[in-house]
Amino acid sequence: MTLANKTAFILLFVVIIFTTLLYGTVHQPIIAVFYVLTALMLVLWAVGAFRSGSVRFTPNLIPFTILATAVYGLVQIIPFGSIAAAAGVANIPRTISVDPFATQVSAFHLLALFIFLAVAMSLIDSAGRLLRLVAFITIFGFGYAFFAILQGVLSPELIYGIYEPSSGAAPYGSFVNRHNFAAFIEMAIALPLGLLFVGAVGRDKRLLYITAVALMGVALLLSGSRGGLVAFFAQVVLLVILTIRSRRHSNKLVVVALAAVLIAAIVGGSFFVGGDTSLSRVTDTAGTKDITTDRTHIWTVTLAVIANHLPFGAGLGAFGVAYTPYDTYSGLERVEQAHNDYLQVVSDAGIPGILIGLAFLFLIWNTGRRAINTTNIVRRGIAFGALAGIFAILVHSLFDFVLHTTAISVMFLTLIALLAASSRAFEDDVEIEGHPKHKRVAKRRSPGKVAAFER
């Protein structure tokens, strides 16, 4: 393994930290740095492949659905004819997108996310790397949750005690939007939960994992995100179903009891830390009068946008412009997102977006089905956790637009990469963390036979 390849793997960690801590990477200068880091990962991976004389990549097709979306975005900005002169301006190109510049920016962003996922999938090429990445996300999630709780007590209106978001924002942790913080924690908490539920954590580490899960759960509840709360419960239910399905009958009650105790401990801990106001923000959000978060109205207008822009959509990233003509409110506050990613996919990309989205979900389901059936308990635990985290975001996307934030997209794609990696057998597989499995057998086998080994 070359130095370039190792450096590219380290950059994967750097990207997760960078995108999360710098306000979720929603400002253009920070997004530009993300693009540079992603391009550097690609270059280092390519250099490593050249120097080693072999190209390691995963045959998984999930990244190509993202690439297909980016390509379709470029199709949406191809001019065909021109619009009649308006306000003294003539020869305005006619395109599918009602906001070609925003669509071009969105397509470029999706291209960067495609590169990130494809390279990440290729870099997680051993059980050692798989476990290191899972351990990093667990430790980072624990530390980040502790920071968020502390900041919520000391300076709830300021991020890092220095940055005050715009009026009406609801910051938590390093995110301007508390729902994005909840989405990040949903994914970070899922991996240790998966390992705990399948019993893949050694006794000497079990208390550490439970502590990390409890603190992240408390931080999630204290964020006051309704969508995050629903998504968290959904992922716990999924983990219970997956675990019961894979365990003997005598262990089913133990699994259900574990889930119940976990939820009770997190809720109790949130009240202990936040007092009687720890969950009040959920109620406050439910009663908000903010026009930009009136989901019933937004969804109704979005349906009108969809109806008037089928079959090709209004353009990736063009929702704000497409929404305005159909908005029955005053228009004093502009709505930029549909607060439902499924409706926005149809609004932005039309029928092609539906087809690409269904392919994306099918490939995730197919990859997850293989991964959760692996005989290796550690990889199965990681698969359970990654699938639960992905499921949580898919549920959360019914109420919010969390995947439009770069940091959330990066972590979501990292979970997909972990899910794909956990479905593959490696020479250095372990059964319980720190304990090699089939070590002697792996040494005797030739490299060509390892891929088929212990599926």
pLDDT tens digits for range 151-172: 988 888 899 989 888 766 788 9
Mean pLDDT to the nearest integer, 254-263: 73
Contact between 116 and 15 under an 8 Å Cβ cutoff? The reply is yes
Quick one: tokens of 157? 């209106």
CB-CB neighbours of 162 under 10 Å: 7
Q: Is 354 exposed, middle or buried (0-12, 13-18, 19+ CB in 10 A)?
A: middle
Tokens 């005797």, located at residue: 444
Quick one: tokens of 449? 């036979």
> Rounded CA gap, 382 and 419, in Å?
7
> Rounded CA gap, 191 and 188, in Å?
6
pTM listed for this prediction? 0.89
What pLDDT score was predicted for residue 227? 87
> Rounded CA gap, 113 and 416, in Å?
12
pLDDT tens digits for range 284-317: 544 444 545 578 889 999 999 999 999 999 999 9
User: 321-325, 377-381, 431-435: which range is least confident on average?
Assistant: 431-435
What pLDDT score was predicted for residue 438? 42
Mean pLDDT to the nearest integer, 203-214: 90
pLDDT tens digits for range 225-256: 888 888 999 999 999 988 888 765 456 666 77
> Rounded CA gap, 314 and 126, in Å?
43
Alpha-carbon dihedral angle through residues 1, 428, 447, 440, given to the nearest 10 degrees: 130
Mean pLDDT to the nearest integer, 170-183: 92
Contact between 194 and 131 under an 8 Å Cβ cutoff? The reply is no
Mean pLDDT to the nearest integer, 84-89: 62
Tell me the backbone φ, ψ of residue 436, rounded to 5 degrees: -60, 145
| 82, pLDDT greater than 80 | no
Contact between 80 and 33 under an 8 Å Cβ cutoff? The reply is no
Name the DSSP letter for residue 27: S
Contact between 370 and 419 under an 8 Å Cβ cutoff? The reply is no
Q: What is the 3-state secondary structure (H, E, C) of 317-353?
A: CCHHHHHHHHCCCCCCCCCCCCCCHHHHHHHHHHHHH
Mean pLDDT to the nearest integer, 439-454: 38
SS3 label, residue 277? helix
pLDDT tens digits for range 387-413: 999 999 999 999 899 999 999 999 999
| 275, pLDDT greater than 50 | no
pLDDT tens digits for range 2-19: 899 999 999 999 999 999
What band does 93 get if pLDDT is binned at 50, 70 and 90?
confident
What band does 441 get if pLDDT is binned at 50, 70 and 90?
very low
Mean pLDDT to the nearest integer, 309-332: 89
Contact between 181 and 225 under an 8 Å Cβ cutoff? The reply is yes
Give the sign of the dihedral formed by CA 297, CA 301, CA 307, CA 309: negative
